[in-house]
């Protein structure tokens, strides 16, 4: 038995107002007008470039506003020409990539990566425990009711033992830098975190458009991620297979992360399939091909649990595969990420993650949480409701920034609506103090003008069963509107190329080398090369209306129900991916005979929205 730990209760004195920079001028309290400022990652308190940023600052000065404006036009043309897009409000548009990279020095990255590894290790053990012996519940570390009322706790996941013990094959941990420059965790994404394709494409694009900013910097490379991911997926295959078949399961071309699904399948050299391309027979999973059926051993799914298997979840789903969970329970196929992972990244579980680190690992957390209030606790709920205009309030099932209410920027009507929602369903919400994200210089208009904008960071980690590997850098998201703290691309945010320096001294690296990046990971190990993939023809569209509806439903359901003033989202409905997938090739006759399927979300939900 593990030693039990009590639940941490935030100190009310930590629930302070945000900095004046985050507030509209007419809402800034007089006693806060000269208070905390966000941490400036480029400049020190005297306005001088930090040592790690001096060469970058000089390169930006040399380019000037006109040069940056010209390069921005080149960037847009490059992204459009290469089809590097994301879907927003039903339209495909180029990824809003900023021209100014974000730099993290070697020492800061070592601590951040170690904290990410520690957190994922603890959450992996939590999932094995919750769907196994449940000691964490018996010892009172996590209340049983908190687990069983989670929308993403699935009893159908009991009895599914991953072949190599891994449920979190891919994770995205959202972190921010607070006013002191301290990294802290904002939320965990353990279902289908999205955005890693943009990490790789951001590096390629920046090297093509502004190669001079790389001069004088030794930047750790990111291009080996698909190889690392493929190695982890192959390691998850059932025992006794020398050459397991891995496929990427996508909801279809109507999903907003379509680019990423196709990108990863292509870079790993594996098939990109839809649910209609797969079927289960005798508790084995098969893929329909033009040359007959082929067994599938590892399914990297990018759809929500609720759509994954209509025999166990939503019976009307046409995106998943009937009988898939039975095949996984029989040990004949591995599903990545694991079914039911969402219980571990439920925002109501988030405040307890530091306790889980102590409980399972016997260590103090390396990365702190943002102080968070458990609204099922009467005293904490009363404290928050009295200070609602000083809090950030989030639905526990929200994703992509939808449903989030920032108290200092909310209207009185919005505050009244969210207060009523909290009183009606305390389990459905959490509250946090407003953390003023750090800022990074950003090109903010067509003239090439630079101005500070708030940023966060999503480091991606891959677990192969022997080690958790953290991609150096991750996806830095930037809130483009002045004063905004909402960085999600679905809410108008952009992204930055994130550099992790090899050392604190700098040193030269040729921009030409960036197109053929060597693999530098946390452990310095290079993954085996991906196998060549088979080119597939375009498939005919079957059940087009239902597929389009369910693909989009993943990302729209929670958005429609989580807006202030509307009923809280039912906790048994998963929100959708921020990403989308490509159409697999299957002959019309075979596709027409495909069985009904299902899908999942996160990035919350199946996909953690970027």
533-551 tens-digit pLDDT:
333 333 333 445 555 556 6
Round to whole Å and give the CA distance between 170 and 334: 14
pLDDT value of residue 461:
98
User: Please, what is the Cα angle at 365 between 359 and 371, to 5 degrees?
Assistant: 105
Round to whole Å and give the CA distance between 212 and 100: 11
What residue numbers bound the domain in which 604 lies? 12-26+33-608
> Would residue 5 count as lying in a domain?
no
Round to whole Å and give the CA distance between 339 and 311: 14
Rounded to 5 degrees, φ, ψ at 201 are -70, -30
Q: Which residue shows structure tokens 């991906």?
A: 530
* DSSP-based three-state secondary structure for 284: strand
pLDDT value of residue 87:
66
Contact 448, 151 (CB under 8 A): no
> Would residue 41 count as lying in a domain?
yes
> Would residue 519 count as lying in a domain?
yes
* DSSP-based three-state secondary structure for 206: helix
> Would residue 520 count as lying in a domain?
yes
pLDDT value of residue 2:
47
Q: Strands 494-496, 475-478: parallel, antiparallel or unpaired by DSSP?
A: antiparallel
> Would residue 101 count as lying in a domain?
yes
Task: Record the pTM.
Answer: 0.79
Long-range contact set of residues 478-482: C-beta below 8 Å, sequence gap at least 24: 478/98, 478/440, 478/442, 478/453, 478/454, 479/437, 479/453, 479/454, 479/455, 480/96, 480/442, 480/444, 480/453, 482/444, 482/451, 482/453
Q: Which residues contact 303 (CB under 8 A, 6 or more apart)?
A: 192, 249, 250, 251, 275, 319, 320, 554, 577, 598, 599, 600, 601, 606
Q: Which residues contact 124 (CB under 8 A, 6 or more apart)?
A: 166, 167, 168, 463
> Would residue 1 count as lying in a domain?
no
Under-70 pLDDT residues of the chain: 1-36, 86-90, 399-401, 489-491, 504-610
pLDDT value of residue 521:
35
Give the DSSP H or E segment for 232. helix 225-235
> Would residue 2 count as lying in a domain?
no
- Letter string b/e over residues 457-478, b meaning 16 or more CB atoms within 10 A of that residue's CB: bbbbbbbbeeebbbbbbbbbbb
| DSSP for residue 213 | G
Round to whole Å and give the CA distance between 222 and 453: 24
pLDDT value of residue 90:
65
Round to whole Å and give the CA distance between 471 and 489: 21
pLDDT value of residue 589:
32
Residue 198 half-sphere exposure, CB side, CA atoms within 13 Å? Answer: 29
Cβ neighbours around 553 below 10 Å, total: 26
Number of domains in the chain: 1
* DSSP-based three-state secondary structure for 57: helix
pLDDT value of residue 551:
62
> Would residue 176 count as lying in a domain?
yes
Contact 29, 20 (CB under 8 A): no
Give the DSSP H or E segment for 91. strand 91-94
């Amino acid at each position: 038995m593990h030693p039990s730990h009590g639940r941490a209760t935030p100190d009310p004195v930590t629930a302070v107002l945000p900095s004046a920079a985050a507030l509209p001028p007419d809402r800034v309290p007089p006693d806060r007008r000269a208070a905390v400022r966000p941490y400036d990652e480029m400049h020190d308190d005297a306005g001088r470039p930090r040592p790690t940023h001096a060469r970058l600052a000089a390169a930006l000065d040399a380019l000037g506003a006109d040069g940056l404006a010209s390069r921005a036009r080149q960037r847009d043309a490059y992204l459009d020409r290469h089809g590097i897009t994301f879907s927003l409000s039903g339209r495909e548009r180029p990824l809003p990539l900023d021209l100014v990279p974000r730099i993290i020095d070697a020492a800061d990255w070592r601590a951040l990566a170690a904290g990410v590894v520690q957190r994922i290790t603890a959450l992996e053990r939590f999932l094995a425990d919750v769907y196994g012996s449940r000691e964490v519940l018996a010892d009172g570390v996590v209340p049983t009711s908190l687990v069983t009322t989670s929308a993403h706790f699935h009893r159908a996941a009991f009895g599914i033992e991953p072949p190599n013990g891994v449920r979190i094959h891919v994770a995205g941990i959202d972190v921010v830098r607070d006013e002191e420059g301290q990294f802290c965790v904002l939320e965990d994404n353990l279902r289908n975190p999205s955005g890693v394709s943009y990490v790789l494409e951001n590096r390629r694009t920046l090297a093509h458009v502004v190669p001079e900013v790389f001069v004088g910097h030794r930047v750790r490379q990111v291009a080996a991620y698909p190889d690392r991911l493929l190695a982890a997926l192959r390691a998850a295959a059932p025992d006794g297979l020398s050459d397991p078949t891995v496929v990427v399961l996508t909801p279809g071309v109507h999903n907003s992360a379509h680019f990423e699904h196709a990108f990863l399948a292509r870079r790993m050299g594996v098939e990109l399939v839809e649910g209609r391309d797969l079927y289960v027979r005798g508790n084995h999973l098969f893929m329909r091909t033009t040359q007959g059926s082929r067994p599938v051993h590892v399914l990297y799914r990018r759809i929500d649990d609720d759509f994954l298997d209509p025999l166990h979840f939503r019976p009307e789903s046409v995106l998943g595969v009937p009988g898939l969970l039975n095949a996984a329970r029989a040990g004949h196929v591995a599903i990545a990420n694991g079914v039911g992972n969402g219980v571990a990244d439920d925002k109501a579980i988030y405040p307890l993650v530091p306790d889980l680190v102590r409980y399972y690992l016997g260590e103090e957390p390396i990365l702190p949480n943002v102080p968070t209030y458990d609204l099922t606790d009467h005293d904490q709920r009363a404290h928050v409701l009295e200070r609602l205009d000083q809090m950030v309030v989030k639905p526990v099932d929200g994703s992509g920034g939808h449903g989030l209410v920032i108290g200092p920027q909310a209207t009185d009507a919005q505050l009244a609506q969210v207060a009523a929602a909290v009183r009606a369903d305390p389990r459905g919400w959490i509250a946090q103090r407003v953390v003023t994200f750090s800022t990074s210089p950003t090109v903010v208009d067509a003239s090439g003008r630079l101005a500070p904008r708030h940023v966060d960071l999503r480091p991606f980690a891959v677990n192969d069963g022997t080690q958790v590997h953290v991609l150096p850098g991750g996806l830095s998201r930037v809130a483009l509107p002045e004063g905004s703290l909402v960085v999600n691309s679905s809410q108008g945010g952009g992204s930055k190329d994130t550099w992790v320096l090899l050392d604190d001294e700098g040193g030269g690296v040729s921009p030409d080398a960036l197109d053929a990046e060597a693999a530098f990971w946390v452990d310095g190990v290079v993954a085996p090369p991906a196998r060549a993939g088979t080119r597939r023809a375009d498939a005919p569209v079957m059940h087009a209306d239902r597929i389009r509806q369910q693909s989009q439903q993943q990302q729209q359901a929670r958005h429609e129900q989580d807006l202030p003033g509307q009923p809280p989202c039912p906790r048994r409905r998963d929100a959708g991916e921020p990403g989308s997938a490509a159409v697999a090739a299957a002959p019309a006759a075979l596709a027409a005979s495909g069985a009904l399927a299902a899908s999942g979300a996160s990035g919350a939900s199946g996909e953690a929205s970027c």
